[in-house]
Amino acid sequence: MSRVINQQFQVVILAGGHGSKMNPLAKDIAKPLLRVGNRPLISYVLEMMQKAQFDEVIIVTHSQMVSQIQSYLETSDIKSNTRIITVKEDLGTADVLRSIREQIRSDFIVISSDLITDAPLHHVADIHRVFDSTVTLLLHQEEKETLTQMQKDKFYYQDYIGLNEDNICFFGSSIDFEKRIKTKPWILNKYGEFSLHRNLTDSHIYIFSRWILDLLSIKKEISSIKGDLIPYLVSKQATLLQKEKYSKIFKRFHKQAPVQKSINCIAVIDSKEPHISKFNNYENVKSSNIFIRVNTVSSYKRANFEIAKATSELLPFEKKVSDDFVDATTNLVNDPFLTSPCIIGQCVSIGAKSVLMKSIIGPHCKIGENVKIQNSIIMDHVTIGNDCVINDSVICSNSLIQNNCELVSCVVGSTYSIEENSSYKNKLLKNMFNFSK
């Protein structure tokens, strides 16, 4: 029987981030393997890929993280073929695409590994197919409460996106602009009008057409996808194909389409309000229930609590026991008082009279007696002594908190030990030297 060598979309997962904005959390552990809701961060993206039935997934990291990611993949039960490619350190996202050029044979989807979402990827892919677009983005409209929360973060920046129906007219972020935003007159010539949005966040899910890789090999100054490539494509939409060197590459990959004079850059908006899409069939398209990009400490916390609430199909690995996620190996013999939703990992021992309120506790922790943990995230192998009060904090793995401590809104780095009878508020506690790695 004959087959057709069919190349649908390929997926490239960018897993090379250092987690510089979430300082002590990703120091000793590779950021893609950082536990959110007791699951490695990259497992959410991989689950999404598996549900969408991708048969080939490419993960791109650098040499320091490769061995850790590989060992994780071997132990997990992910069925799709995942390939790991190592690239040099300190490359921008577009440089990464340039270096994996030979591996990609068709239109491809770029996702960053720190995204936790159940957005409808097939909808974005359909729109990419129908309009033969060069780049298709997914934009998420945050609700007002989450927006106000996000704005308190010191690393927060706004995206300014100009849209005319679905076409992107303008793309920039507040980092690049101080006082004024400059747009070009051809936009008004072509579209007549466009609306500028400040409330849409870029999901960093991009679907690119294959000819972008050839474009990148000509334009070697483009280093980052979000910072350079997409603003370049958006601003040169109408004029790019007038230059011969670009129109030649374009025609090689777009033989079928009738003569196109401009490239299409299209944005798909994912929001809870019904919105109008040029592609008028939104029956099978639901908005995403969870959408968080984990790159700062506050978004890390938010992600953990969202997963614990179980609003989407992305659930912790532990089994659900009446509103909490408790692993089978822990025994709640001492009958701690739990306020849901909590997530408790493997082999956790909790002392008597302890109270856990809306917290996430990693595997192999030892929690003493009379401990009150509230709105906190405790990673694995942490020992907490008796009579402690931990509120709104993140405690990284292998830490030791001795008796009678009080921690409020702190971040404790890994393998850090806190002495008895100490109390800290709004502090970042970490070791100065790296003992592990």
Partner 1 sequence: MTKKERRTYYQSKKKEREQNEESKISQKQKKKQTKQKNKLEINQNKNVRWSSTDLFSITSHLRKYHSQNSISMGISFGEQKIHSSVIKLGLKFSSGIVKGTTNRSICLLNVFRDVINDMKIENIFRDEAITQLNKQIAFLEKYRPFSEPMYNVIKIVKNSILKIDPNLTYLEAKKHICETVIDNFIQSKIIDAENEISELGTQKIKNGDVILTYAKSRVIEMILKRAHKNNIKFRVLVVDSRPLNEGRELLRTLDKKGISCTYCYLNALSYMMKEVTKVYLGAATLLSNGAIVSRIGTSIVAMMARQFNIPVIICAPTFKFSEKKSTQVTQISSSAVMIQKSVLSINSCFLPNNNSTDGFHYPVPTYRDDQNLQIFSLLYDVTPIDYVSIVVTEFGLLPPTSVPVIIREFKKELTSN
Residues within the interface to partner 1 (CB under 8 A): 1-9, 52-55, 106, 121-123, 125-126, 129-132, 165, 255-256, 258, 274-276, 278-281, 283-285
Residue pair 162/170 in contact by the 8 Å Cβ criterion: yes
| Structure tokens belonging to residue 400 | 């030791």
Q: Checking DSSP bridges between strand 195-197 and strand 35-36, what pairing results, if any?
A: unpaired
Q: Tokens 């969408």 correspond to what residue?
A: 52
DSSP string computed for 226-271? IIIIHHHHHHTTTTGGGSHHHHHHHHHH-SSSPPPSS--EEEEEE-
- Shortest separation between residue 276's beta carbon and partner 1, angstroms: 5
Tell me whether residue 91 or residue 285 sits nearer to partner 1 (CB atom): 285
Cβ closest to partner 1, residue 107 vs residue 306: 107
Residue number with CB closer to partner 1 (8 or 217): 8
Min separation Cβ 317 and partner 1, Å: 24
Minimum distance of partner 1 from residue 24's CB (angstroms): 37
Q: What are phi and psi of 363, to 5 degrees?
A: -70, 160
Smallest distance from partner 1 to CB 108, Å = 12
Closest C-alpha among 293, 252, 279 to residue 125: 279
Question: What is the C-alpha separation between 287 and 77, in angstroms, rounded?
Answer: 28
Tell me whether residue 48 or residue 343 sits nearer to partner 1 (CB atom).
Answer: 48
What contacts 301, CB < 8 A, 6 or more positions away?
377, 394
Nearer to partner 1, 130 or 352 (CB): 130
Shortest distance (Å) from residue 224 CB to partner 1: 26
Beta-bridged to residue 135, according to DSSP, are: 208, 265
Q: How far is the CB of 263 from partner 1 (least distance, A)?
A: 16
